[in-house]
Chains A and B, each alone.
Chain A
């Protein structure tokens, strides 16, 4: 089937036309449309990932179906948010969210600087003001590493630690600090209610971008951009919006002190 794709602003300018006739095999989705446009208009290819697609005047994710009568449009970012800092870049090859099955309390991450967590390959998971719970890479020397970590940070609190595979742990550490400040932006209970707002301490699900509030049971969608979050918010969805974790500055570790000096 053929669909007429409406183009606006820079997309229209690059394509040299306000409308593009695109052939799609049925059943078609937004993802198939994106692929077809990339093929048909190479000039648009680098911009496609940052553009939204609208199907019948509604922002549509990649799995949304496109029928023969659908009105489809390519929506470049709108001018709002012009003063916002740019979204931090991550390598395109890396999936954004890999912490599907972990529940982490941001106060634990706040306690341990990211540089230390990476150096010791330790993922802080919970801190109740007294006891710190961590995950550490599996190995015969794990207890030793916990001891060194304790010494470097001068932690006298009890530490509860569990061993796990090194490779997924390394990825989880990066992602946990990346998402540490991300929280729900449209929870009606957030003022004094019982619901938790930080993404990382919501109940994980099988879908990496979906978690649930274990107080009220509401499903929460993780969004990378404000556009995405607004689009879901107007559809009545509960949304957590990615926020760079500003309080987690890289803290340099001093050189070891030579005690003989």
Chain B
């Protein structure tokens, strides 16, 4: 199950989606809004997606992951819009027969998601500045 939503992510509900009596392992990853990045303090975050492409890329990730690991159920939920400190930005849940595959698949999905899925975040720092996070772009965005 794949979705991009603008309302709070219900982690328990995500977990319930992948639970199965065929599974011996369920791995749930939550990406949450962090307050401190080095010296910088975050007030809140804004996530923006290219919805059509993001959903398509997430579906590709699911297909790839299912080809690599014996996945029973899989759920990826990403939230967009304004998120406060501690909010869940993304949830990935995977169920597999054994734990090693669940850990591996969950980590791979999360790492790959952050590389290929067109979803961006903007930091709103405590000093009032805003910054789009684009690694490798080499320029701080003018505000």
Contacts and interface: CB of A to CB of B under 8 A. Distances in A.
A86 B134 CA distance: 12
Contacts of B119: 78-79
Contacts of A73: 50, 53, 118
Contacts of B121: 79
B82 interface: no
Nearest to A75: B118
Indicate the size class of the contact surface on chain B.
20 to 34
Contacts of A26: none
For B53, B121, B135, the residue with the greatest tally of chain A CB atoms inside 10 Å of its CB is B135
A interface residue count range (under 10 / 10 to 19 / 20 to 34 / 35 or more): 20 to 34
A54 interface: yes
Contacts of B124: none
Nearest to A47: B137
A227 interface: yes
A80 B135 contact: yes
Contacts of A76: 120, 132, 134, 137
Q: Which DSSP category, helix, strand, loop or mixed, fits chain B's interface?
A: mixed
Interface string B47-69: 01010110011001100100000
A252 interface: no
Contacts of B53: 54, 57-58, 73, 75
Nearest to B46: A9
A57 B117 CA distance: 10
B141 A80 contact: no
Question: Which 3 interchain pairs have the tightest Cβ spacing?
Answer: A80-B114, A9-B120, A57-B53
Interface of B: 48, 50, 52-53, 56-57, 60-61, 64, 111-122, 132-139, 141-142
16 contacts: A6-B50, A8-B118, A47-B137, A57-B52, A57-B57, A58-B53, A58-B56, A71-B52, A75-B50, A76-B132, A78-B116, A79-B119, A80-B135, A81-B135, A227-B115, A230-B116
Interface of A: 6, 8-10, 13-14, 46-47, 50-51, 54, 57-59, 71, 73, 75-82, 84, 86-87, 225-227, 230-231, 233-234
